[in-house]
Structure 1
Amino acid sequence: MTAAARFFCADAALERGDTLAGTAPYGTVWVLIEYRGGWPSNGFDGLDLAPEIKGLVFGAAQKVRARILLIRRHGRLLPGDGPRRWAVLRHGADGAGRQVWGTWSRDQDLTGVVPALDAPGEPGHPPVVLVCAHGLHDVCCAVRGRPVGRALSERWPHLVWECTHVGGDRFAANVVVLPDGVYYGGLAADSAVPTVEEHLADRVHADHLRGYTDLFPPQQAAVAAVLRSAGPAGRHAYTVESTVRDDDLWRIRLTGRPPRAAAFDVEVRARRTPPYRLTCHGTAPSSARTYEVTSLRAL
């Protein structure tokens, strides 16, 4: 009798045709901490740091709803290969991206994150491209993420980092561009490079787009639908003008910058999927919330 085939959540999601659009977690501030050793399954929380330092950084991040991610270069530099880096990245309400970077060699050095979270940060830094490769959190993140991390690192060695869990294991490989706050999913080595290349040229495509992190899920789905209909556009080519909710139905108006159409009216309906096994480690089936575009009209 043969053993049952191993379950991979990303394979199952592809077979089901799970919807990507509308699945990016909300957020506008991120803390990145370079850690070259093995990552605990719970990321920053599991690091062997001085408890008072860890508590200080976590508390400051929590106050501004910042997400803390561990990062490392693909191929893992050894612990002694120069100082490790930390960063605070922020996506402003005006769409501008700002960053603060520092280095650390002792736990105490990470306290620099705290004032950086209160500072506006500096514009003009190159974007940061993160690839989730957190295998202890979910197997698919390593199996699918590391080949993507390798391909992107070979193309943009100074922009790309592997990172801990970003959410949406079943959409591996996941790539996040910061501080733009753009999530892409379902990527492979051959699709990741052109996707990121287009993004860096300020042309966001609907294919592989999970969403913009400063928007809520139905708004993310509306933007993806407009990009699919009207073609790729810049990260800030469309603005959410209004959002009206009626139970599980959202009516969203997007306004475009010239030469785009003046506006689009998009209707999005939320639905629950049947229960599925959504992660590699989770054994109990769970239902996911999806956002289906039921109407799109250019004005």
Structure 2
Amino acid sequence: MTAAERFFCAEAARTRGDSLAGTAPYGSVWILIEYRGGWPPNGFDGLDLDPATKGLVFSAAQAVRARMLLIRRHGRHSPEAPRRWAVLRYDSSGAHRQQWGTWSRDEDLAQIVDALGTPGELGRPPVVLVCAHGQHDTCCAVRGRPVGRALSERWPNLVWECTHVGGDRFAANVVVAPDGVYYGNLDARSSVAAVEGHLTGRIHAEHLRGYTDLFPPQQAAVAAALGRFGPAGRHDYAIVETSREDDRWRIRVTGRPPGPAALDIEVRSYRTPPSQLTCRGLSMSSAVHYEVTSIRVG
């Protein structure tokens, strides 16, 4: 296959017009482990670590449904500096609950298990994660690395490159944690605008994949509210009621000023025709699309 014939899942998704809204995976806990060597295709699972420690951390992560990500700074690899780990928890109050530590030996990672049993510290700024996991999917590296560079130049202390976060075809993907907000279809310029908006309490709908504490149709409803009434903060909209009938949802959303006080949003889901959704996956798969059919104020 020549370079011109090479398949890139992100280009194909843009050509198809794949919808971003409603594609953020559910979750509220993140485990970050700084690893400066090569990242295996399966991330933490593929690391050659002490088996006992690795099994302990993996079991503890599974118990709380935490997403485990390897991280590194863009372009900065100082072997002398201590490697870091973190446990991040989403808090619906808007507080950033985080616990950070360092590790030099594999056994030091057992500290993560203890951290999973504590609420975490308050007062830390959010973490900006850029998927640049080229061994998992080509588009994550091709599109993620320039975004990692641009964001690191702007916010060097907040930004980390990370392993697979899901949704390869939406590369470049950025996750702000522990806020639990996914952004996709980013490039260097749009990523800076998206993160700047996020940090100043003005989340835009354009590149929003969803909030990880919501289920896909709820994510689509909030994205529609942001698209219709303008950017808003992470907690300016809340889901208060959701009902379903077959492939349709009715979702009641409340808002804070200056946005509407309440919205009734209807969402329809359907499966797209089968297509190749990742660069490496040769099988054809369909995806679920969430379409907002109506928004009513009141």
Give CA deviations for 1:143-186 in whole Å, capped at 9, x if unaligned: 00000000000000000000000000000000000110000000
**Aligned ranges for residues 88-103 of structure 1 at < 5 Å?**
88-103=87-102
Kindly indicate whether residue 202 of structure 2 is the aligned counterpart of residue 203 of structure 1: yes
1:297 is matched with: 296
Provide the alpha-carbon RMSD of the alignment.
1.2
Residue in 1 that maps onto 2:16: 16
- Equivalent position SS for 2:115: helix
Residues 159/2 of structure 1: CA separation in 2 closer, same or farther (3 Å cut): closer
Distance 1:61 1:162 in 2: 20
Cα distance between partner residues in 2 of 1:45 and 1:106:
17
**Contact (CA 8 Å) 2:272, 2:288: kept in 1 or not?**
yes
The one-letter code of the counterpart of 1:92 is D
C-alpha distance in structure 2 between counterparts of 1:96 and 1:285, whole Å: 41
The amino acid that maps onto 2:217 is: P
* Other structure's SS at 1:293 match: strand
Count residues in correspondence: 298
Residue of structure 1 in register with 2:123 after alignment: 124
Alignment of 1:204-243 (within 5 A): 204-243=203-242
Cα deviation code 1:78-131 (max 9, x no counterpart): 4x2310000000002434320000000000110000010010001110110000
Deviations 1:210-263 (A, max 9, x none): 000000000000000000000000000000010001111000010001232110
Residue of structure 1 equivalent to 2:280: 281
TM-score calculated relative to the size of structure 2: 0.98
Partner of 2:166: 167
Paired residues for 1:8-47 under 5 Å: 8-47=8-47
Whether the 8 Å CA contact 1:182–1:213 is kept in 2: the answer is yes
Q: Which runs of 4+ in 1 moved over 2 A?
A: 1-4, 93-97
Q: Is the contact made by 1:92 and 1:98 (CA closer than 8 Å) also made in structure 2?
A: yes
Q: Is the 8 A contact 1:36 1:76 kept in 2?
A: no
SS in 2 for 1:266: strand
Instruction: Decide whether the 8 Å contact of 2:96 with 2:125 is kept in 1.
Output: no
- Give the whole-Å Cα distance in 1 for the aligned partners of 2:207 and 2:188: 13
Between the aligned partners of 1:201 and 1:4, the Cα distance in structure 2 is: 41
Give the distance between the partners of 2:75 and 2:192, measured in 1 at CA.
18
1:4-153 correspondence runs (5 A): 5-78=5-78, 80-153=79-152
- Does residue 157 (structure 1) correspond to residue 193 (structure 2)? The answer is no
**Distance in structure 2 (CA, Å) of the matches to 1:200 and 1:95:** 12
Equivalent residues of 2:35, 2:83 under 8 A apart = yes
DSSP 3-state at the match of 1:141: helix
Change (3 A) 1:202 1:52: same
> How many angstroms does 1:3 deviate by?
7.7
AA partner of residue 31 (structure 2): V
Report the CA distance between 1:2 and its aligned residue: 7.0
How far apart in 1 are the matches of 2:219 and 2:3? 41
Question: How far apart in 1 are the matches of 2:278 and 2:187?
Answer: 18
- Aligned residue for 2:223, secondary structure, equals helix
Q: Which runs of 5+ in 2 are unaligned?
A: none
Shift of 1:197: 0.5
Say whether the 8 Å CA contact 2:95–2:123 is kept in structure 1: no
Give how far 1:60 is off.
0.5
Distance apart, 1:36 and its partner CA = 0.3
Paired position in structure 2 for 1:247: 246
Deviates more, 1:1-10 or 1:134-143: 1-10
* Residues 147 and 4 of structure 1: CA distance in aligned 2, closer, same or farther (over 3 Å): closer
Please give the alpha-carbon distance, in whole angstroms, between the structure 2 residues aligned to 1:161 and 1:26.
21
